[in-house]
Amino acid sequence: MANAINVGLSGLAGWRVLQRMESRQVEATAKDPVVQRATAYLRENLTATTTAEDLVGDYKMLQVALGAFGLDEDVTNKAFIRKVLESDLGDSASLANRLGDKRYLKLAQAFGKRSDAATTGEALSQAYVQRQFEKRVGEGDQSYRLALNARNEVKAFASRASSDKTLWYEVLGNQQLRTVFQGAFGMSKSIANLPVDRQLEEFMSASERVLGSSSFSKIATDETIDKLTTRYLALSQIQTTTTSNRYTAALSLLSRA
Dump pLDDT digits (tens) for 69-122.
999 999 999 999 999 999 999 999 999 999 989 999 999 999 999 999 999 999
Nearest CA to 229 out of 167, 159, 195, 179 is that of: 179
CA 92 → CA 15, 87, 104, 197, 236, distances in Å? 39, 10, 14, 20, 37
State the fold for domain 7-140. AGR_C_984p-like (1.10.3700)
Q: What percent of the chain is modeled with pLDDT above 90? A: 85
Within the chain, how many helices (H) and strands (E) appear? Answer: 14, 0
**Tens-place pLDDT, residues 188-197:** 999 999 999 9
**Tens-place pLDDT, residues 17-40:** 999 999 999 999 999 999 999 999
pLDDT of 242: 52
d(CA 183, CA 58): 38
pLDDT of 237: 85
Work out the pLDDT band at 255, boundaries 50, 70, 90.
very low
pLDDT of 243: 46
Whether the pLDDT of residue 244 is over 90: the answer is no
Q: Kindly report whether the global pTM for this prediction surpasses the value 0.75.
A: yes
d(CA 191, CA 199): 7
pLDDT of 239: 72
Mean pLDDT across the chain: 91
Work out the pLDDT band at 10, boundaries 50, 70, 90.
confident
d(CA 191, CA 81): 30
